[in-house]
A and B are shown apart, each in its own frame.
Chain A
Amino acid sequence: MKAGFQRRRRRNLQIFRAIVLIAAGLYFLVPIGAMFEFSTRANDQVSRTLGAWKSIGTFPDLVTAITASIELAAITAVVMLVLLVPTMVWVRLKLPRLNRIVEFVCLLPLTIPAIVLVVGLYPMYLWMGTNLSDSILTLSFAYVVLVLPYSYRALDAGLSAIDVKTLSEAARSLGAGWLTVMTRVIAPNISNAILNACLLSVALVLGEYTIALNLFYNNLQVEIAQLGRTDAAVSIAVAVASLLFAFVLLTILSFVGRGRVVATGQTGK
């Protein structure tokens, strides 16, 4: 039986698809695998060792930087939530006309590269350093701005999936105050979106380099880069670890977020 025209076309497309996906898979996976390989190299270039991984704890500056970055991630996520969730709910309830403005402001940092933002932040941090505090944790002020677009999108998807107005009117008519409405009614209903926003913020802060470097703070990424000049294997081991951590976070996110974000994110289909 002769192979039909349509069938031949479909088979060619499948071959094309397989080749492209395999090539892409190699391009994207090999560098990550290579980091593993590099971080477990022994001096003789043949045998394997976990020496670099085990020695991570013996670099005090590195441990300090790791701690600082984790603290920064936590503070940033909390400040972001406290700032964003009540505002977004309030605007939906009382000031629908401001909705567009809040969205615009939140997405604005996407068009202001971090390297540009740092130029404006530099004199501010200079002033803060002498008059208030020069702790590395002050970086979280800037980081909240940095994570604004991503957090906003995640929270917006969650809030769009529920009827904020009806829910809060119902709760208010039953005698609940605003704080109760926020913590007991709204927040539980958008818990997925809140988790999404937090995980994205944490992943972003753990990977941040530009602002910290230019403001002379040694966060995780800056420390890894510096260490890379003296002990490449250890710094790559830490890089792999931070990457894995971010990957785990984002995988959790993709599982948690699937139900709601997928259902409300895109129209059509």
Chain B
Amino acid sequence: MSERRGVEVRLENLQRRYGTVTALDGLTLTLSPGELVALLGPSGCGKTTALRLLAGLEDADGGRVVIGGKDVTGLPANRRNVGMVFQAYSLFPHMVAWENVAFGLQMRKVGTAERKKRALETLELVGLGRFAERYASQLSGGQQQRVALARALAIKPQVLLLDEPLSALDAKVRSRLRDEIRRIQLEVGITTLFVTHDQEEALAIADRVGVMQSGHLEQLGPPTEIYSRPATPFVAEFVGLTNRMKGDVHGGTVDVRGTRIPLVDPDVEDGPATALVRPEAVTLASNGEMEDGPLVGTVIAIAFLGAMSRVTVDLGDTIVLAQMATSAASQTPAGTKVRLTLRPDPVLIQREQPATTAP
């Protein structure tokens, strides 16, 4: 199972409407051979539609799907050689695990002995060799999804599609299986599209993340770029936490409560705007007595997140989140008066009437 067989996958200007609702509005996306791309977005953004069009489970109203240089737009799902893992309950309940995995091989007229051998190998790959004779009802949710993954991989597909495969599982199993999926994907070297609404999941697993909204891609890039240099206010707000702080734009910078911060996109008109400031860009200091000022406030809560902590500060007219090392946060327990400092990382701004980013 170790030969690399990644192929390039191209979605070109895909269109899909349901009645009057536009689910996909000209989506274009290219996956490099062996790459894992996560499509991230709120429900109804079109990410699942994109995946189903790629799988052939729905017809496109326009555009093309190209897998490994071959146009498959007109092909039905069963002739696309695409492996798919569904959200949940997709295992055939009347077959044991290995029979489920062998099903795709049976469709390809592989002999019985060979079928079982390859099914068992694939179950081994997902770490479920011992559970080959179990029915779906005798497996946990995480194990069922592993079998579903093995079933999708057993047919040696050109593309692997994962449709929110972890969303029905509980938190602990979810992160373990997420890493497991990534390990297997790298081992097999298969081009993969992973659809999720969970930003942490997308950032953790993908080579590149595509953030979608209203049927189109807002931004496509490596996780670090999506997080630290969001291209649009929507991406900034959807991925990670963001403080919305009122400010004034002057010649390419924004003045937020007395601090000048550069803009990601300096070519904007002057005037009032809302700056989107990451909690990590906010630091706080406390030195005994302190004069009142625009950035002076009181700590009202500390959320312990492990090595990091999130501190909530009340500035009187607004609430600001700051994220820092837990050791630093413990210096300023709730009730402490603190002064905030805003690091001058370039920020995005939002104007009053941003019709395109309304939720």
Contact stretch, chosen from B28-36, B57-65, B175-183, B331-339: B57-65
Q: How far is A73 from B76 in the complex, measured between Cα atoms in Å? A: 59
Closest residue of chain A to B75 (Cβ to Cβ) is A5
Per the bound structure, the CA–CA distance linking A5 and B77 in Å amounts to: 9
Q: B17 to nearest A CB, angstroms? A: 12
**Contact call A6/B57, Cβ cutoff below 8 A:** yes
A137 to B125 alpha-carbon distance, docked (Å) = 74
A174 on the B face (CB < 8 A): no
A2 touches B74 (CB 8 A): yes
Q: Convert B70-108 into 0s and 1s, putting 1 for each residue whose CB lies closer than 8 angstroms to a CB of A.
A: 000011110000000000000000000000000000000
Number of interface residues of B (CB under 8 A): 11
Residues of the B chain whose Cβ atoms lie less than 8 Å from the Cβ of A3: 59
* B46 in the interface (beta carbon within 8 A): no
A120 within 8 A of B: no
Q: How far is the CB of B78 from chain A (nearest CB, A)?
A: 10
Interchain CB contact under 8 A, A6 and B61: no
Asked whether B76 lies within 8 Å of A1 as measured between CB atoms, the reply is: no
A4 at the interface (CB under 8 A from B): yes
B56 at interface by CB-CB < 8 Å: yes
**Using Cβ atoms and an 8 Å threshold, which residues of chain A touch B74?**
2, 4-5
CA distance A7 to B75 in the complex (A): 13
Task: Choose among A2, A5, A7 the residue that contacts B56 (Cβ–Cβ < 8 A).
Answer: A5
- Interface residue ranges of B295-347 to A (CB < 8 Å): none
For the complex, give the distance between the alpha carbons of A5 and B55 in Å.
12
A207 to B58, CA, bound (A): 51
- Considering the chains assembled together, what is the distance between the CA atoms of A5 and B58 in angstroms? 8
Q: Which residues 174-197 of A sit at the B interface, judged by CB distance below 8 A? A: none
Q: Count chain B CB atoms within 10 A of each CB in A2, A4, A7 and give the residue with the most.
A: A4
B61 and A1 form a contact (CB under 8 A): yes
A-B contact count, CB below 8 Å? Answer: 20
Given A1, A2, A6, which contacts B58 in the complex, CB threshold below 8 Å?
A: A6
Give the number of chain A interface residues (Cβ < 8 Å). Answer: 7
- In residues 1-37 of chain A, which contact B (Cβ within 8 Å)? 1-7
Q: Which residues in chain B, 32-69, are within 8 Å of chain A measured between CB atoms?
A: 56-62
A25 CA to B74 CA in the complex, in Å?
38
Give A146-168 as 1s and 0s: 1 = Cβ < 8 Å from B's Cβ atoms.
00000000000000000000000
A4 to chain B: which residues have CB within 8 Å?
58-60, 74
Q: Which residues of A contact B62 (CB under 8 A)?
A: 1
With the chains together, A224 CA to B233 CA distance in Å? 78
| A1 contacts across to B, CB distance below 8 A | 61-62
For B58, the chain A residues whose CB sits under 8 A away are 4, 6
Query: Given the complex of chains A and B, what is the CA–CA distance between A61 and B172 in angstroms?
Result: 77
Question: With the chains together, A244 CA to B74 CA distance in Å?
Answer: 54
B247 to chain A minimum Cβ distance, whole angstroms, is 49
Q: How far is the CA of A128 from the CA of B225 in the complex (A)?
A: 92
Tell me which residues across on chain B come within 8 A of A7, comparing CB atoms.
59
Smallest CB separation, A3 vs chain B (Å) = 8
A82-108: contact bitstring with B at CB < 8 Å (1 yes, 0 no)? 000000000000000000000000000
In the assembled complex, the Cα of A4 lies from the Cα of B60 at a distance in Å of: 8
Chain A's nearest CB lies how many Å from the CB of B93?
13
Q: How many angstroms from the CA of A215 to the CA of B57 in the assembled complex?
A: 63
Within the complex, the shortest CB–CB distance from B26 to chain A, in Å, comes to 16
Instruction: For residue A2, give the distance in angstroms from its CB to the closest CB of chain B.
Output: 7
Assembly CA distance A2 to B74 (angstroms):
9
Chain B residues, Cβ within 8 Å of A5: 56, 59, 74-77
Complex Cα–Cα for A6 and B60 (A): 10
Smallest distance from the beta carbon of B313 to chain A beta carbons, Å? Answer: 47
The distance from the CB of B82 to the nearest CB of chain A, in whole angstroms, is 14
Question: Closest CB-CB distance, B252 to chain A, in whole Å?
Answer: 47
Bound CA–CA A1/B59 (angstroms): 11
A:114-157 near B, CB below 8 Å: none
Complex-state Cα separation, A40 to B158, whole angstroms: 71
- Measured CB to CB, the nearest residue on chain A to B78 is A5
> How distant is the Cα of A229 from the Cα of B62 in the complex, in angstroms?
69
Task: Give the shortest distance, in Å, between A6 (CB) and chain B (any CB).
Answer: 5
Give chain A residues whose Cβ lies under 8 Å from the Cβ of B59. Answer: 3-7
- Cα(A22)–Cα(B267), bound, Å: 65
Q: Which residue of A lies closest to B61 (CB)?
A: A1
Give the chain A neighbours of B60 by CB distance below 8 A.
Answer: 4
Chain A residues contacting B61 (CB-CB under 8 Å) are 1
A2 cross-chain contacts in B, Cβ below 8 A: 74
Per the bound structure, the CA–CA distance linking A174 and B115 in Å amounts to 69
Chain A to chain B contacts (Cβ below 8 Å), 20 pairs = A1-B61, A1-B62, A2-B74, A3-B59, A4-B58, A4-B59, A4-B60, A4-B74, A5-B56, A5-B59, A5-B74, A5-B75, A5-B76, A5-B77, A6-B56, A6-B57, A6-B58, A6-B59, A6-B76, A7-B59
A-side residues, CB < 8 A to B, are 1-7
Would you list the 10 A-B pairs with minimal beta carbon distance, nearest first? A4-B59, A5-B76, A6-B59, A7-B59, A6-B58, A5-B59, A2-B74, A6-B57, A4-B60, A5-B56
List B residues at the A interface (Cβ < 8 Å).
56-62, 74-77
For the complex with contacts A5-B74, A6-B56, A6-B57, 17 further pairs of A-B residues with Cβ separation under 8 Å are A1-B61, A1-B62, A2-B74, A3-B59, A4-B58, A4-B59, A4-B60, A4-B74, A5-B56, A5-B59, A5-B75, A5-B76, A5-B77, A6-B58, A6-B59, A6-B76, A7-B59
